[in-house]
A = this chain, B = another copy of it.
Amino acid sequence: MACCDLKGMLTFLVLWIINKEPANGASIAREIEKRKGCKPSPGTIYPVLKDLKEKGLVTVKEKEYHITDKGHKELHAGCSLFKKIFYDVEEICRKCD
């Protein structure tokens, strides 16, 4: 990963959601809406999915996006970095609503 590259959290989130449960684009968008409070437009979600597909991180089976082994590894790596960077965020999160 490039230095100080903290963009791409949406891609990470999408991969995370697919990892939890295979889904189609529309329901992924709905899940993001549930988490974020606003729904990503089609112009946001589909390019992300296309990108993930091209990178071999997800595949389409029966009109649903599934995570691949490679995707699993990538997600794992992302989580590790994430944890390394924000290992102590829980300190304040504990105080949050």
* Chain A interface residues (CB < 8 Å from chain B): 3-4, 6-10, 13, 16, 19-20, 32, 35-40, 44, 75-76, 79-89, 92-93, 95-97
Contact = CB atoms under 8 A, between A and B. Distances in A.
Contacts of A96: 76, 79-80, 83
Chain A interface, >50% SS class: helix
A4 B40 contact: yes
B79 A40 contact: no
A7 B19 CA distance: 22
Nearest to A17: B88
Contacts of A35: 84-87
B19 A92 contact: yes
